[in-house]
Amino acid sequence: MSWHSITLELDAPQAEILSEALIEAGAESVALDPVAQSASGAEGTRMRLTALAARDTDPSALVAAAARAAGVAAPAFGLAQLADEDWVRRSQAQFGPIRISANLWIVPSWHAAPDPHATVARLDPGLAFGSGSHPSTCLVLRSLEESVRRGARVLDYGCGSGILAVVAGLLGAGEIVATDIDPQALETTAANAARNGVAVRVTAPDRLPPGTFDLVLANILAGPLIALEPQLAGRTRPGGRIALSGILETQAGEVARAYARDFEAAVSAVEEGWALIEGARR
């Protein structure tokens, strides 16, 4: 099997938001690399975004759909074909151990744990978004260290690789439910949960179990998060908490206003232009 390798060169903020939008639109994986500085030595602000897509994907339609979701004009892109074994090597080279905090590491399944005394989540991103390297994911992971209570009922909405659900379990959460509209994400989440010995119920959004949750996590994009406010509010118990990420700092006010209907919500942290919004359900 071969893959489309789609390459775009963009300003850093646009590359960041398009990286997530491409995953949401159906890309199998994305990678971001800085473009070398110009010969003049000027500060570089350009990023090379490489997205992999299945051979039967229409690259132009994929990029156009991602651009619409991100609210930007569809950019020009380069296209090449990549063999299956090359995809595996590139995927593994892209991900190394990531230190989230003093006591939390995300470690790919093919690496040794750098700190055996820390909480270590073993992760294989597979074909789903969520290696732990993106600032939006790091923001939620650090929040989890403070917000997860032993035995808490947790919902990871838009689970991707399952990284948030797995870490919540390693930190002591009780019943954990993970959901995503992408069947590949559900398979990857189930595999990563099993790899870490964490019990996670993995299901499609229309098959979520009844009831509310103590903690609801959603690392998606600003537009979908705003649209999902009624559903996520309905799944958060009174007094329960929500953590929202995948939000550019410039979009945070709009998202916070949407959730003010049901939550005492505000920006709690910012990293590299990405914002985390947290709040308690009224």
138 has a pLDDT exceeding 60: yes
CATH number at residue 73: 3.30.70.120
Indicate if 27 and 141 belong to the same structural domain. Answer: no
Residues 173 and 262 both lie in one domain: yes
Domain limits for position 30: 2-90
Nearest to 88 by CA among 110, 106, 121: 110
Residues 176 and 268 placed together within one structural domain of the fold = yes
Provide the number of structural domains found in the chain: 2
pLDDT in tens, 205-243: 999 999 999 999 999 988 899 999 999 999 999 999 999
Q: What is the reported pLDDT for 36?
A: 57
HSE-CB for 56 with a 13 A CA cutoff: 0
Query: Per-residue DSSP letters for 69-112?
Result: HHTSPPPP-EEEEEEHHHHHHHHHHH---EEEETTEEEEETTS-
Residue 118 domain-assigned? no
- Judge if 63 and 136 occupy the same domain: no
User: In this structure, is residue 163 part of a structural domain?
Assistant: yes
Q: C-alpha 198: how far from its chain's center?
A: 19
| 195/260 Cα distance (integer angstroms) | 38
Give yes or no for residue 135 having a pLDDT over 50: yes
Judgement on whether residues 172 and 235 belong to the same structural domain of the protein: yes
Question: Is residue 136 domain-shared with residue 52, that is, in the same domain?
Answer: no
How does DSSP classify residue 39?
T
pLDDT at site 93 = 56
User: Is residue 201 domain-resident?
Assistant: yes
Q: How far lies 112's CA from each of 104, 109, 213, in Å?
A: 14, 8, 34
Domain boundary among 90, 120, 153: 90
Residue-wise pLDDT tens digits, 71-84: 889 999 999 887 76
Of 39, 61, 90, which one is at a domain's C-terminal end?
A: 90
What integer best gives the mean pLDDT of the chain? 87
Task: Verify that 159 and 41 share a domain, yes or no.
Answer: no
Domain contains 185 = yes
Per residue in 84-95, pLDDT (tens digit) is 655 555 555 556
Of 68, 90, 112, the position where a domain reaches its end is 90
Q: Is residue 101 part of a domain?
A: no
Higher pLDDT, 29 or 261: 261
Same domain? For 39 and 179 the reply is no
SS3 content of the chain, % helix, strand, coil (to 5): 35, 35, 35
Residue 166 structure tokens: 């797995």
Through-space distance between the first and last CA atoms of the chain, rounded to whole angstroms: 51
What are the tens digits of pLDDT across the range 115-124?
989 999 998 6
DSSP string, 156-170: EES-TTSHHHHHHHH
Is the torsion defined by CA of 106, 170, 126, 46 positive or negative? negative
Identify the band that residue 25 occupies on the pLDDT scale cut at 50, 70 and 90: confident
- Distances in Å between the alpha carbon of 146 and those of 126, 170, 172, 240? 28, 13, 12, 14
Q: What CATH number is attached to the domain comprising 249? A: 3.40.50.150
